[in-house]
Amino acid sequence: MKKQRLTFFLIAYSIFIFNANAQKVSIQQAIQQSNYPLAIQLIDKEKPTFDLEMQKVTCLKMMNNFSSAIPLLESISSRYLPNVYCLRELADCYQQVEDFKKSENCLQNALSLSPDNSVLLRLLGQNYEQEGKKDSAIVYYKKTIEKNPADFVTAQKLAKLYLKKDQLEDVISLTDQYLKQDSLNVQMIKLSGAAYCLSHRYSKAIEQLQKIEAADSTYDTNYFLGMSHYGNNHYFNAIKYLKKVYQKDSTSLSNIYYLGNSYEECFNSPKAIEYLNKGICIAQKVDSVLYNFYMTLSTAYHTQEKYKEEIATLTEAHKRMPTHSLLLYKIGSIYDLALKDEQNTKYYLELFISKIQQGIKDKYEKTGKDVDQMYLLSAKRRLDELKEKKLSQKNK
């Protein structure tokens, strides 16, 4: 009898163990099949353990159910010994719901347990960056790189932050240092080239960007190559790259402007006019941008001796920047020297004199008041000449 009872007990226990193992296998299978609701149901049937509850957190996060994951993680943190993994997961959930202060607190607590943890340092830097605290983000990204110099993700984030803050020397120093250990890293070479271009070291920018030109024909690579050649006054090369940028994005006003300008510098006024007019169509509501387009377009028309079109574009430029009084003098001079239109010459020169005498200092000429006075004397002299000419014609 005893033997039968023992046999029955062993069979029953074996069935219990088998069912428990099958249940655990089913949880893993449900997770692997992305059936997270089923996985949570199976986990809830088990006796709670740290590992199972963290699996439930993973399922909730995969379902984007952060509002349920957060209280569960807070409960886990209160019931078990302080744990870096748990705090990191909680910080991530708070980030997802944009509660950056609580995320920061979690990461700081995790760092108190593991001060040299480069992953935590990077996550705290990312938290500050998402919060818009760029200076704090830079501090923690730098600490991350000190702990792990080979961390490309952090190095790239830090370089981009430096670029946003116009800390170009820091970008150059960081990328140069990183490229010593990973000399073929396309993204870091690109950031290096951009920084050299923006700091007006165009030849060095070209040297860097040409290393990746064949492997990386993206907008940024072509744009900074084009702008670097433009900065070196190599306008044919600038056109080569800026045209590639235009093919990728035909709405970039900066690219269109410098592409049109490059054509004008190469004495290809028809192409300059074509691209600059395209830019004007896009930039209808941005006066400062339109001003630059109209000024360059007027130069292209002047080269082609299309003086009426030149006057029209200068007039549009003046509408955008009414304080640039010298444009009135230029329009008057075109009427005078090119079109021989004395009536309009007189009108625009008198308008120019009036603006200058009202004390409107022309901001277009960087040399300032002396230049205004020089053109003022020239305008008065020309008006006197026209007056004398009219009187002499009357006396004949």
pLDDT of residue 396: 64
**CA-closest candidate to residue 227, choices 247, 191, 203, 251:** 203
| pTM of the model as a whole | 0.72
pLDDT of residue 390: 84
Per residue in 113-148, pLDDT tens? Answer: 999 999 999 999 999 999 999 999 999 999 999 999
315 — phi, psi (to 5°)? -65, -45
Per the listing, tokens 């990183």 go with 178
**CA-closest candidate to residue 125, choices 143, 109, 112:** 143
pLDDT of residue 361: 55
Computed over its alpha carbons, how large is the radius of gyration of the chain?
35
Looking at domain 149-231, what is its CATH homologous superfamily? Tetratricopeptide repeat domain (1.25.40.10)
Where the chain has pLDDT below 70, the residues are 1-25, 285, 359-371, 396
Fold of 250-320: 1.25.40
Query: Is 316 in contact with 296 (CB distance < 8 Å)?
Result: no
Residue 230 CA to residue 321 CA, distance in Å, equals 26
pLDDT of residue 25: 53
Per residue in 379-391, pLDDT tens? Answer: 999 999 998 888 8
